[in-house]
């Protein structure tokens, strides 16, 4: 994506991300909110994978058809001219559908290596395609076609592997029906619909209000934090089956792991974001060129947003693993009512306005999430356990955002981190102790 952004103009890169936003929006309906349900049920009943698979296939086919028809209706009313592009957009939706099913089944069997392997192979193919495509033929049509074909082949390869490894031989019967599976998926479908409306619709609005160049600036900023959020999200999906088992077998250890996770994400995420923000004005221009200078401020806001997003991903994963999906759906609905108006306003003020709106909205909802989460899971968190990580985040954010002198910033960051490390129950200290235990265990 970074090389592609450099080869294309901000307008061209922005248009490509508008198409990806449309795909992400309608993929929600194609996936029918099934990924965590499928992973959970396969984890609990691995010998019934074949039966579960046969139950979900009709649901996924119908949901894919609904998504395709919905996209075509949307394109008709929006009067888009890129007919060939949106045929391949449908292929992208199918590719995401195949990948989602395959990964959910593999993770349900506690196997994550196939995700790594196929991502490595096909991401390398995509990278080489972007690098070696001559600039004179590099246009939006060629890019969308190549990207769609590569992702489709990746989805097919993963599905065939999963079917051969896990589906064929695990044929034990199970009391589940496709209706019961769909009912379990409904809260997650609602969650994903709200998430797509919150994340993707403002991008389409940004394109309508400010043009594809602003989408390009915003996309660069948001894509640069994607490796971090993708790593956290994939990691949480990978540990989801283990959390599900832990919730069933050792509730106290489950709660301890959640508290450790809170601190780890807030402290490590804040320090990584601080480093990226303090150096962004150098490496963004170096990588993308002066055409993307306006993306620097956008990225800075999105880096802090990424920390809060990773924290929220942990919350949602823990609620899902403890069978609290209905509560999660209620929380997400409240979130949508809070943040969507903020995002709607921000999308009217260009890429930076939208990035700041995402940061503000996320900060508001995360604060009440911790309190609700504590009550729902009966964690009995003390005040400093709930909010000390946020205090650290706020202090470092303030230092990086509102002070000018880089040396003074680094001095204050080091001082604050050292001060937090002095307190035994602080998240910094807990992180240090956790890392020490891991190192000692390996030895």
Q: Is 406 exposed, middle or buried (0-12, 13-18, 19+ CB in 10 A)?
A: exposed
Q: What pLDDT is attached to residue 267?
A: 79
Distances (CA, A) of 176 to 24, 226, 248, 300, 390: 29, 36, 20, 47, 42
The whole-angstrom separation of Cα 112 and Cα 96 is: 17
Inter-residue contact 275 to 400 (CB < 8 Å): no
**Does 421 have pLDDT greater than 80?**
no
Q: What pLDDT is attached to residue 239?
A: 57
Q: How confident is the model at residue 72 (pLDDT cuts 50, 70, 90)?
A: confident
More confident site: 162 or 83? 162
Inter-residue contact 336 to 197 (CB < 8 Å): yes
Which tokens in the block code for residue 410? 């680094």
- Residues 106-117 have pLDDT tens digits of 988 988 899 999
Q: What pLDDT is attached to residue 437?
A: 59
Q: What pLDDT is attached to residue 248?
A: 64
The whole-angstrom separation of Cα 225 and Cα 248 is: 34
More confident site: 201 or 299? 299
The whole-angstrom separation of Cα 294 and Cα 132 is: 27
Kindly state the helix (H) or strand (E) to which residue 397 belongs, with its residue range. Answer: helix 383-402
pLDDT > 90: percent of the chain: 26
Could you tell me the end-to-end alpha-carbon distance of the chain, in angstroms, rounded to an integer? 39
Q: How confident is the model at residue 47 (pLDDT cuts 50, 70, 90)?
A: very high
The whole-angstrom separation of Cα 292 and Cα 85 is: 25
The whole-angstrom separation of Cα 193 and Cα 185 is: 12
Inter-residue contact 317 to 243 (CB < 8 Å): yes
Q: What pLDDT is attached to residue 431?
A: 60
Residue 68 CB neighbours (<10 A): 17
- Residues 274-293 have pLDDT tens digits of 998 999 988 888 888 888 88
More confident site: 422 or 186? 186
Q: What is the dihedral of CA 60, 62, 66, 68, to 10 degrees?
A: 70
**Does 231 have pLDDT greater than 80?**
no
Domain definitions of the chain by residue range? 1-183, 200-443
Give residue 303's region: left, alpha or beta (phi > 0; psi -120 to 50): alpha
**Does 149 have pLDDT greater than 90?**
yes
Distance of alpha carbon 264 from the chain centroid:
18
Q: What pLDDT is attached to residue 382?
A: 66
**pLDDT-wise least confident of 219-233, 329-343, 374-388:** 374-388
Q: What pLDDT is attached to residue 211?
A: 86
Q: What pLDDT is attached to residue 242?
A: 61
Q: What pLDDT is attached to residue 87?
A: 82
Phi, psi of 417 (to 5 degrees): -60, -40
The whole-number average pLDDT for the span 138-152 is 90
The whole-number average pLDDT for the span 138-149 is 88
Q: What pLDDT is attached to residue 103?
A: 93
Distances (CA, A) of 359 to 74, 298, 339: 29, 11, 10
If you average pLDDT over every residue of the chain, what do you get?
83
The whole-angstrom separation of Cα 18 and Cα 218 is: 11
Contacting residues for 26 by C-beta, under 8 A, at least 6 apart: 67, 68, 70, 71, 74, 93
Q: What pLDDT is attached to residue 78?
A: 72
Contacting residues for 255 by C-beta, under 8 A, at least 6 apart: 377, 379
3-class state of residue 255 by DSSP: helix
Q: What pLDDT is attached to residue 323?
A: 64
The whole-model pTM stands at 0.71
The whole-angstrom separation of Cα 367 and Cα 58 is: 40
**Does 305 have pLDDT greater than 70?**
yes
SS (H, E, C) 53-100: HHHHHHHHHHHHHHHHHHHHHHHHHHCCCCHHHHHHHHHHHHHHHHHH
- Residues 426-437 have pLDDT tens digits of 666 666 665 565
**Does 422 have pLDDT greater than 80?**
no
**Does 22 have pLDDT greater than 80?**
yes
Inter-residue contact 5 to 212 (CB < 8 Å): no
More confident site: 371 or 28? 28
Distances (CA, A) of 259 to 93, 263, 322, 384, 431: 36, 7, 15, 12, 11
């Amino acid at each position: 994506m970074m090389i592609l952004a450099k080869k294309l103009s901000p307008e061209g890169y922005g248009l490509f991300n508008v198409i990806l936003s449309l795909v992400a929006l309608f993929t929600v309906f194609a996936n029918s909110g099934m990924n965590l349900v499928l992973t959970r049920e396969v984890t609990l009943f691995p010998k019934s994978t074949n039966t579960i698979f046969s139950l979900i296939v009709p649901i996924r086919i119908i949901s894919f058809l609904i998504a395709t028809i919905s996209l075509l209706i949307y394109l008709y009313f929006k009067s888009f001219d890129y007919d060939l592009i949106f045929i391949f957009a449908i292929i992208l939706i199918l590719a995401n559908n195949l990948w989602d099913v395959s990964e959910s089944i593999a993770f349900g069997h506690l196997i994550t290596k196939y995700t790594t392997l196929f991502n490595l192979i096909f991401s390398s193919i995509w990278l080489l395609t972007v690098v070696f495509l001559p600039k004179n033929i590099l246009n939006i049509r060629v890019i969308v076609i190549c990207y769609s074909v590569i992702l489709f082949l990746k989805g097919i390869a993963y599905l065939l592997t999963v079917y051969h490894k896990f589906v064929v031989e695990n044929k034990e019967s199970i009391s589940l029906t496709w209706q019961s599976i769909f009912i379990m998926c409904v809260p997650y479908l609602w969650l994903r619909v709200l998430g797509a409306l919150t994340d993707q619709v403002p991008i389409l609005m940004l394109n309508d209000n400010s043009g594809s160049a602003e989408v390009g600036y915003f996309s660069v900023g948001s894509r640069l934090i994607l490796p971090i959020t993708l790593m956290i999200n994939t990691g949480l999906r990978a540990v989801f089956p283990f959390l599900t088992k832990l919730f069933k077998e050792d509730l106290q250890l489950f709660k301890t792991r959640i508290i450790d996770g809170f601190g780890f994400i807030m402290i490590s995420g804040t320090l990584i974001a601080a480093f990226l923000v303090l150096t962004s004005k150098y490496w963004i221009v170096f990588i993308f060129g002066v055409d993307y200078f306006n993306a620097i401020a956008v990225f800075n806001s999105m880096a802090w947003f990424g920390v809060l997003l990773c924290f929220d991903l942990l919350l949602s994963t823990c609620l899902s693993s403890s069978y609290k999906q209905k509560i999660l759906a209620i929380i997400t609905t409240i979130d949508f009512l809070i943040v969507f108006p903020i995002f709607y306003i921000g999308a009217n003020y260009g890429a930076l306005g939208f990035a700041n709106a995402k940061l503000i909205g996320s900060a508001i909802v995360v604060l009440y999430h911790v309190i609700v989460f504590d009550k729902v899971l009966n964690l009995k968190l003390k005040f400093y356990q709930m909010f000390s990580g946020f205090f650290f985040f706020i202090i470092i954010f303030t230092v990086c955002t509102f002070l000018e002198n880089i040396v003074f910033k680094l001095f204050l960051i080091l001082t604050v981190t050292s001060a937090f490390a002095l307190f035994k129950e602080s998240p910094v200290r807990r992180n240090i102790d956790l890392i020490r235990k891991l190192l000692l265990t390996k030895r």
